[in-house]
Structure 1
Amino acid sequence: MAAAQAMAKMSVGSPACNRAAGSLCRWRGAVAVRLGGSWSWRKSPFLGGRMAVGPRRSRPVSRNPVASPVQMNLSFGKTMKWWEKGLQPNMRAIHTAQELVDSLINAGDGLVIVDFFSPGCAGCHALHPKICQFAERNPDVQFLQVNFEEHKSMCHSLHVHVFPFFRFYRGAQGRLCSFSCTNATIKKFKDALAKHKPDRCSLGPIKGLEESELLALAANRDLQFTYTKEQDLAPSMEDGAEVITHDHPRLPAAAKPLVRQGSEDRAVVSSGR
């Protein structure tokens, strides 16, 4: 009886229990016996329990899976480039050659400053905050930004190769001045702005870019820009005759040149009567 009680005090898996093959051990309030290295339940004659014969079962896996970690999508705002910071309402980026031409034409007699810059230019980066200050102090002046990295072909057609580079335009006068400057030579920009900022009324159609520049842009295959040189033709006369300039000489089909004899010979365009 004492041996049975001592054996009952052993726990399953203990060294003492493992050494005694066929010995009885207490496990979770029941009696188990190890036979041949395995455990199996059997009826116990002295404790009224069961004896386990066979391998020990592992703890059953819960049917409820552990909740997966919550996936958090962190969205960050787009980082602004240095040339996008501090922009004023009168500052606008140019995206196409057509947009540049239209912006100069639609400005009327207002002063327009075209700012050519390169994102990798340290001088452009350093000068940008001051240009924004000038734009803020002069809301009636338009500032157009042309990014060289995005519009290399257009800048080459306009003969712009140095940065930062500025061109001033106004009404029928077209281009007023052009120059390059940095923080060290910012006085050039101040002087040009003070000289050309006062309102002026220019007579004639708005000029914008030079005709040579328009032709160069139109000839550039990388740009979607077309330009047709207009012929300067005078309006028709009441009698149906048409006056032709010497640049584009041509006569209407019904016209016949007549020569009048006299002290001076001259050609007269007749209406064909």
Structure 2
Amino acid sequence: MAISSKCGFYVSGLNEMSLRSKSKQSNSRAFPVLGVDFLGKPISDQKGLKDSRVKSPSNFFVRSQASICVSKAMKWWEKTLKPNMVEINSAQELVDSLHNAGDRLVIVDFYSPGCGGCRALHPKICQLAEQNPDAIFLKVNYEELKTMCHGLHIHVLPFFRFYRGAEGRVCSFSCTNATINKFKDALAKYKAEGCSLGPAKGLDESEILHLAEIGEISARSSSSPSTKEERVEEDVVMKSIDLCGVWSNAIHNHVIQLEEEESTLVKV
């Protein structure tokens, strides 16, 4: 945090005494010399000041004015971020980001501002994000989204989840600076382009339903590929189709039976 300040003061009394600061130049360095203007006569703070006595004024007040300018420094998790690193601010934003990622590899980085391991690992994660621009790094602040993290069973930090297209979550683990190779190996394994057979899966269906139950996302999330309500609607449609087929077959069989009875009566 950078702080700059300036301050000045004025002393007033019956004798109208003011203080000022001036500097005396020398070849080596400048030394401040205090000068006093008393009743229009300058008095030096050196030899002449010893023999001079200034009577203290009866009413004496000091008027001061100060201004402080504080500039906010960047927090460690805000430094060296790359364009493919995105801060997640809500559970719905996490669900939507995973759903809209398509077939790209997505790494969800769960961290905490007070986690020493997270802070030490942050520069390396930023470096790996720069080396893999096609991957998406989603950063989740555990302290700000604690309810969501508990709903996703995140209890160890730093923690990472890898997602890929229709496969959904492909791996998850915790690692530190000492075990960074675990992260590098997973990145090398899953970053290769694959052929997605459907839309991005994202979070598991059970996780989406649980987040909806605790109020972190809407009950009918547009990012959920298959909810209970949608499955019920599909079942109703399929049963309606089956029912139509049954009625069609019954009518067809009834017509055939009538035709056979008519032909039998004609013969008789």
TM interval, short-chain normalised: 0.5 to 0.7
1:91 pairs with one of 69, 72, 85: 85
Which has the larger displacement, 110-119 or 226-235? 226-235
Matched, 1:131 2:125: yes
CA distance, structure 2, for counterparts of residue 170 and residue 224 of structure 1: 22
Structure with bigger helix share is 2
Q: Give the direction of change, closer, same or farther, for the CA distance of 1:107–1:224 in structure 2 (3 Å limit).
A: closer
Q: One-letter code of the match for 1:75?
A: C
Which ranges of structure 1 fall in alignment gaps of 5 or more residues?
1-58, 236-241, 245-249, 257-267
Q: Give the direction of change, closer, same or farther, for the CA distance of 1:243–1:225 in structure 2 (3 Å limit).
A: closer
Q: One-letter code of the match for 2:246?
A: V
Partner of 2:246: 269
Partner deviation per Cα, 1:34-76 (whole Å, 9 max, x = no partner): xxxxxxxxxxxxxxxxxxxxxxxxx9x9xxxx9965543x433
CA distance, structure 2, for counterparts of residue 140 and residue 70 of structure 1: 55
Contact 1:93-1:145 at 8 Å conserved across structures: yes
Partner of 1:215: 209
Contact 1:174-1:207 at 8 Å conserved across structures: yes
1:174 pairs with one of 165, 168, 171: 168
CA distance, structure 1, for counterparts of residue 234 and residue 111 of structure 2: 43
Q: Give the direction of change, closer, same or farther, for the CA distance of 1:197–1:232 in structure 2 (3 Å limit).
A: farther
Matches within 5 A, 1:1-273: 71-72=66-67, 74-221=68-215, 223-227=216-220, 228-229=227-228, 230-231=230-231, 244=238, 250-251=239-240, 255=243, 269-271=246-248
Shift, 1:207, TM fit: 0.6
CA distance, structure 2, for counterparts of residue 190 and residue 232 of structure 1: 42
Contact 1:97-1:225 at 8 Å conserved across structures: no
**Greater relative contact order, per chain length (Cα 8 Å cut-off, separation 6+):** 2
CA distance, structure 2, for counterparts of residue 146 and residue 94 of structure 1: 5
CA distance, structure 2, for counterparts of residue 148 and residue 161 of structure 1: 9
The number of residues matched between the two structures is 188
Shift, 1:79, TM fit: 2.2
Q: Name the SS for the 2:69 alignment partner.
A: coil
Structure with bigger strand share is 2
Partner deviation per Cα, 1:126-185 (whole Å, 9 max, x = no partner): 111100100111111110011111111100100111110000011111111000000111
CA distance, structure 1, for counterparts of residue 69 and residue 167 of structure 2: 50
Shift, 1:206, TM fit: 1.6
Output the aligned Cα RMSD. 3.0
Q: Name the SS for the 1:75 alignment partner.
A: strand
Q: Name the SS for the 1:187 alignment partner.
A: helix
Which ranges of structure 2 fall in alignment gaps of 5 or more residues?
1-56, 221-226, 252-268
CA distance, structure 1, for counterparts of residue 146 and residue 101 of structure 2: 24
Shift, 1:120, TM fit: 1.6
CA distance, structure 2, for counterparts of residue 212 and residue 243 of structure 1: 24
